[in-house]
Structure 1
Amino acid sequence: MFYPGFLFDSTYLILIPAMIIAFWAQFKIDSAYKKYKTVRTLSGVTGSEVARNILDGAGLFDVKVERYSKHLGDHYDPSLRVIRLSPEVYDSATVAAAGIAAHECGHAIQHQTHYAPLALRTKIAPVVNIGSSISIYLFMIGIFLGNPLFAKIGIIFFSGAVIYQIITLPVEFNASTRALNILKTRTFLYGEELKGAQKVLDAAAMTYVAATLMAISQLIRLIAINNRYNDN
């Protein structure tokens, strides 16, 4: 039976708390990054120099540091063993740049030490990416065409994306902890600079928390819609 309330119905209320947290988290990261991307460090070391120094200190001479064109698209690619930093991080000697560069180095060090959550996330990523990209379509087909099997498969695939988000939390928090410890012990940052970097990284971590809550809320909504469909 076709369920006309799928596109807009009361189950959207399930998403509201997560949406509020997501807006708040985005505001926090925007404001923290905007502030500390203009605060130059006393050391005068750029983000790329911070990254190279940390990697070499950890014996990761084979991990490259590259400039990446996407704004705030900084990331570590474990498959190619490369850290990609956006221009405002790669070229800037600011508190925000140092914090972000160190965070990505934290991921490289996780990879080096076989940090279990990162290894698991990397392993399931290809399957999760495929499953999450088709999950909603399968669910909609199941609901609109009255096929409960497709709806259930869609929910199962989307559950994989939720699991991926949950695994991401310890990966990101651990990388930030590693980054702050390195920045402190290697004296890239001093006093208030270190506090500023922590604010940037804490705000960034909240965006992952918000994404996880949103994914969980969406999964609950899909289950609620499916249950309503089955009751009808």
Structure 2
Amino acid sequence: MKNPIRAISLAVLTMALFVVSNPSSAQEVSRRNPTFGIKGGINLNNLYVDNVTDQNMKVGANVGLYAKLPVATGFAVQPEITYSMKGSQTTYNSVLGSGKYRFNLDYLEVPVAAVVNIAPNFNIHAGPYVAFLLSAKVKDVDANGTVNGVTQLNTDNFHSTDWGLFGGLGFDIGGATLGARYTKGFQEVGKPGATSNFLQNAKNSGFTFYVGIGL
């Protein structure tokens, strides 16, 4: 799929119109009180540039807080605040050995989702996010998984904020929520002249899988 965010956004709009125009379906999802909870999971992240399809996906973690605020029957707004590990990785193979360089970008991320229930325990959601860079580093990991070294990078060489769109699916089980979403950033990671050409043009993207527990 060339543009998953556009497809998800169109699906959200379609489902919202379906709920509004089908009262019998909307009645299946009762209005609820606001809920608050904690969430955590994994990110499968990569940095992308225009016209480049090479994938160097890196696993990271995400953890944070969320609130689900009902607006109408079957529709809610869900703001979140999360610590999210993004970045990319590349492999190397030399006479000194082989391994991976993991480029880690850590953010404090604030997504705000429009949540449309399409069944009593199932929703589709999408919205914008803004993220604030906390740290940047490169980790050298050999073929055996041993960390040979970590190099802290100067965050002044990177844009301090990232922003973009996301969309995904959620499934409620009792007081827990299982979710998956795709996120695409529109802000270049590196500042012009301060980092390599790749990082100047690269942007964040990736998939997030999480579990949320209501408090």
Q: Please give the TM-score of this superposition, normalised by the length of structure 1.
A: 0.28
Q: Which has the higher helix share?
A: 1
Higher Cα Rg, which structure: 1
Q: Which has the higher contact order (CA 8 A, sep 6+)?
A: 1
Q: Please give the TM-score of this superposition, normalised by the length of structure 2.
A: 0.30
